[in-house]
Amino acid sequence: MIKLHGVTNRDSNWDALNAITKRLANKDPSIWGLAAQAEAAIRLDWVDLPEASRDLLPVLDALSAWSREIGHTNFILCGMGGSSLAPEVIAAHYKRSLIILDSTQPDQVNDALNSELSKSCIIVASKSGSTIETASQKALFQDALISAGLEPRNHMVIVTDPDSPLHKSALEDGLKVVTANPKVGGRFSALSAFGLTPAALIGVDISVLLDDAFDAAQEFTKPDSVVVAFAALLARPEFAFAKFYDRNSSFPGLADWIEQLVAESTGKEGRGVLPVVLNSQPTADSNAITFNENDPLAVVGNLGAQFIFWEWVTALLCFLLKVDPFNQPNVAESKDRTGKILANWRDDLGRPAFETETLSIYSEQGLDSLENYLTGARSGKYLSIMAYLNRNTSKDAIQLRDLLESHLKIPTTFGWGPRFLHSTGQFHKGGPLVGSFIQITTATDLKIPIPGAGYGFERLVLAQALGDFEAIKMRQLPVIRIHLKNERAGMAELLAVAKKLKN
């Protein structure tokens, strides 16, 4: 069951949403208009997942028994966006260990690769298997297992759509495969095989998640239901940059999952709602959305209920914004640019506009200090910090969000690259073109070749940053890239300057 705190003001959107909740429950693909109908017709089975995913229970029970028999004690999930964010929330909520590899940053890849492979279960999750990050990770781990004298079929599980290229190759290799419902998009897949397979393997009772989601969804079609109230709230202008805070709840990471769901679903055709995930306790008058019943504006309910609630809210919000919730037209753009950069790679990446001993700045502006570059980010209505760093060891970088938001007085998001490309990356390029952007990349001596690719992760992650830089710049949006020549020293300098700005 979901309960709302602080949502009382009824507006005209409630009536419009009341008129379509039963249509959504019946999976009517015409809700979002003619242009979206074809895509919606093959993307609405998430509505049924609280009940339909029960068919997975015996499959996942058998898979978990196989894993216990092999002796897996270490679980690694290779996946991006919706394939990794929900399992990460589930693992954190139930306090289970799950290594999330949602990066091509070589130091983070190496952290996962250094796990004890003989006791590891590597879960590779991708609808098609063509996602460059996940395909590269799969190739790496498969090669590493063979090199260690281990059988990949004893240590790898594939989660994918039926008859996908990944499904076919996995069957040829004799790997364990769990197929997902192909009529569920990635960001709506929390209660599908993509969310439930890793959860089951790490020992979570997934029937509880489904029970809670099912019970909550029974209320959604009633007049003035919680999903109607909250979708209408988010459609208000004051929530164009909606603040979320989950650190005082039992759902760490839920705000990041919501960020991807809402930003990628709504951020297109020049419209959208951008979630801003807060790191510090918000003030009582900040209008921040939390998950703690003692806070002024809160969504309270069990985890399974939270998943289905936010999926419904997002679909209804897209109806009010008049956008297709299920496509992501601008995500492929950065992928295509990355591919071209890799195919025509040059080691000479140009001269920096400004540099110190520890960092270089690449920009079309010719400013004379790091302070001026950071202050210049005020030119947008929001700032996005995109850090292509190892999020296991670079958590200090998150401080930049609070420091720069405090100084610039504009909503500020923080995303780990390339993970955010499957989340807020769609909003950056498809939503309102009012952002300013700071990329952070770093030098690394670690070279990890990607089997069969002809290049390594160190080149791939930089190409992804450069590809997205180009996609942002071509929209004439302000963007700079701060390259840390030495990550520790460069980040220390960056934070020191940002702290002076705050003062």
pLDDT digits (tens, 9 = 90+) for 360-400: 999 998 899 999 999 998 889 999 999 999 999 999 999 99
Given this model, what pLDDT does residue 192 score?
Answer: 98
CA distance 404 to 412: 7
Report which of residues 379 and 106 the model is more confident about: 106
- What φ, ψ does residue 483 adopt, rounded to 5°? -105, 120
Given this model, what pLDDT does residue 448 score?
Answer: 97
**Distance between the two ends of the chain, CA-based, in angstroms?**
45
CA distance 326 to 330: 12
CA distance 434 to 450: 37
- pLDDT-based confidence at 502, cuts 50/70/90? low
CA distance 163 to 169: 10
Determine which of 14-23, 217-226, 316-325, 332-341 has the lowest per-residue pLDDT on average.
Answer: 332-341
**What integer best gives the mean pLDDT of the chain?**
95
- What φ, ψ does residue 34 adopt, rounded to 5°? -65, -40
CA distance 487 to 401: 18
Quick one: average pLDDT of 327-349?
Answer: 87
- What φ, ψ does residue 268 adopt, rounded to 5°? -160, 160
For residue range 159-195, list pLDDT tens digits in order.
Answer: 999 999 999 999 999 999 999 999 999 999 999 999 9
- pLDDT-based confidence at 348, cuts 50/70/90? confident
Look up residue 248 and give its two tokens. Answer: 């005082």
For residue range 309-334, list pLDDT tens digits in order.
Answer: 999 999 999 999 999 999 988 887 88
- How many CB atoms within 10 Å of residue 270? 11
CA distance 207 to 51: 10
For residue range 430-476, list pLDDT tens digits in order.
Answer: 999 999 999 999 999 999 999 999 999 999 999 999 999 999 999 99
Given this model, what pLDDT does residue 251 score?
Answer: 97
Asked whether residue 138 carries a pLDDT value surpassing 90, the answer given is: yes
Domains of the chain (ranges, CATH numbers): 49-209 (3.40.50.10490), 331-502 (3.40.50.10490)
Asked whether residue 304 carries a pLDDT value surpassing 70, the answer given is: yes
Q: What percent of the chain has pLDDT over 90?
A: 91
Which residues, in sequence order, are CB contacts of 383 under 8 Å at separation 6+? Answer: 377, 404, 405, 408, 410, 411, 412, 413, 435, 436, 437, 438
CA distance 47 to 25: 7
CA distance 390 to 110: 10
The predicted model scores a pTM of 0.96
Q: How far is CA 229 from CA 11, 104, 236, 317, in A?
A: 9, 39, 11, 10
